[in-house]
Amino acid sequence: MKPLIIGNLSASVPIVQGGMGVGISLSGLASAVANEGGIGVISSAGLGLLYKGLTGNFIQDNISGLKEEIRKAREKTRGIIGVNIMVAMTNFADMVKTSIAEKADIIFAGAGLPLDLPSFLSKGSLTRLVPIVSSARALKIICEKWFKGYNYLPDAVVVEGPKAGGHLGFREEQIGDSDYSLEKLVPEISAEIKTWEEKYGKPIPLIAGGGIYTGKDIKSIMDLGASGVQMGTRFVTTAECDAPRAFKQSYIDASETDIEIIKSPVGLPGRAILSDFLRKVKEGRKQPLRCPFHCIRTCDISRSPYCIITALINALKGNFRNGFAFAGTNAFRATRISTVKEVFSELKREYLNCQPD
């Protein structure tokens, strides 16, 4: 595998661990991935619940929690640490400012177009900015806005295909349409990137995610033009993943038919593992009484069947009667808990076995 170069950062293994909230990818998983030569990513989603009580204010506890997770990751690794921040979060700006102030190596921004992301950089900031997109058109809009407004282009780009876990940047009818497959998106976005690279002389590596599970998958998608891959689901069932054992066990116990597309309160389709909670939602037996956190701008409590952050924190605790686990399309393939080192070794071996003699 060739290293993944993002600005002055070099990951010896071109694997970015996907950011997974709430509480799934924190400093433990991120530092373990970084120590193996990949890029470890802390999810900023819901940290105010995990660090509840530091100030008594959800928004402020998010900031304090992110500072603490970045600090803990730095204590465990000298590798590359990124932060995943959803544009749709009401405290998006706070999370970006905190990540830059704490000198996170990379910000990965998705769940919306991060059109003003470069505005948060100050002189001398070393944090690299990487938008997450689901189409060449979205990337073009971002590049035009960033260059015109800030004389800045993305340091890399992540494309998430429709096989990813969590919230998806596609309409429900597009998810199973081959025209929107990752294999179709990568060449299209690579072509868009090339126009900007040639015009302004800045390399912009493409990182592809969504359904990447094996070394063979990595080889196939990199042959189409990706410089690296993003993998989330594969790392959930590792010892270093920050989720408790009950959450990881939900992946191991899942069958292929348990993994479904759901309608999220934030207004996007998502992929999750079927649970008692989601069955009740389907039957119309769930309805939130109030919005306790105001965490997502696009979440309308008057029409939402449940509070998503509460459901995700319940799942983190292993309470699937009142929550559910987001997961990628290949989550059912997990059969045991392994270490991050074992996963990297297996991926490298599978990748090498795909090479011509």
- pLDDT above 90 covers a percentage of the chain that reads 69
229 DSSP β-pair partners: 15, 208
At 235-269, the pLDDT tens digits run 999 999 999 999 999 999 999 999 999 887 777 78
Q: In angstroms, rounded to a whole number, what is the distance separating the alpha carbons of residues 100 and 8?
A: 16
Per-residue model confidence (pLDDT) at position 193: 98
Please write the tens of the pLDDT for every residue from 174-232: 898 888 999 999 999 999 999 999 999 999 999 999 999 999 999 999 999 999 999 99
Q: What is residue 16's predicted lDDT score, i.e. its pLDDT?
A: 98
Least Cα distance to 207 among 252, 275, 164, 157 occurs for 157
Is residue 126 scored above 90 in pLDDT?
A: yes
DSSP string, 163-181: T-SEE-SS-GGGTT-GGGS
- Containing 214, the helix (H) or strand (E) segment is none
Which domains can be identified in the chain, with CATH numbers?
4-243+336-353 (3.20.20.70), 245-331 (no CATH)
- Per-residue model confidence (pLDDT) at position 167: 81
Higher pLDDT, 325 or 58: 325
Per-residue pLDDT reduced to its tens digit, 320-334 = 888 889 999 999 999
What count of other Cβ atoms lies within 10 Å of the Cβ of residue 90?
17
Residue 303's pLDDT is what? 64
Residue 140 backbone dihedrals phi, psi, to 5 degrees: -60, -45
**Lowest-confidence segment of 94-108, 110-124, 283-297 by average pLDDT:** 283-297
User: What's the pLDDT score for residue 207?
Assistant: 98
Which pLDDT belongs to residue 355?
A: 67
Please report the pLDDT score of residue 50 as a whole number.
84
pTM: predicted TM-score of the whole model, two decimal places? 0.93
Answer whether 161's CB lies under 8 Å from 178's CB: no
Residue whose structure tokens are 């100030």: 55
Q: Given phi > 0 = left and psi -120 to 50 = alpha, else beta, which region is 29?
A: alpha
Confidence grade of residue 357 (pLDDT, cut at 50, 70, 90): very low
Average pLDDT over residues 81-97: 91
Please report the pLDDT score of residue 308 as a whole number: 75
How confident is residue 168, by pLDDT bands cut at 50, 70 and 90?
A: confident
Joined together, the tokens standing for residue 158 give 């992540």
E strands present in 57-121: 80-86, 106-110
**Tens of pLDDT, residues 4-34:** 999 999 999 999 999 998 899 999 999 999 9
- The neighbouring-strand residues paired with 82 are 41, 106
Percent of the chain residues past pLDDT 70, beyond the cut = 92
Q: Is the dihedral of CA 54, 55, 58, 59 positive or negative?
A: negative
Cα separation of 225 and 220, whole Å? 9
pLDDT given for residue 285 in this prediction = 64
pLDDT digits (tens, 9 = 90+) for 261-316: 988 777 778 999 999 889 888 877 655 555 555 555 555 566 666 777 778 888 88
Using alpha carbons, list the distances in angstroms from residue 180 to 18, 224, 291: 20, 15, 34
Tokens 């819901």 belong to which residue? 46
Within 13 A of 321's CA, how many CA atoms are on the CB side?
Answer: 0
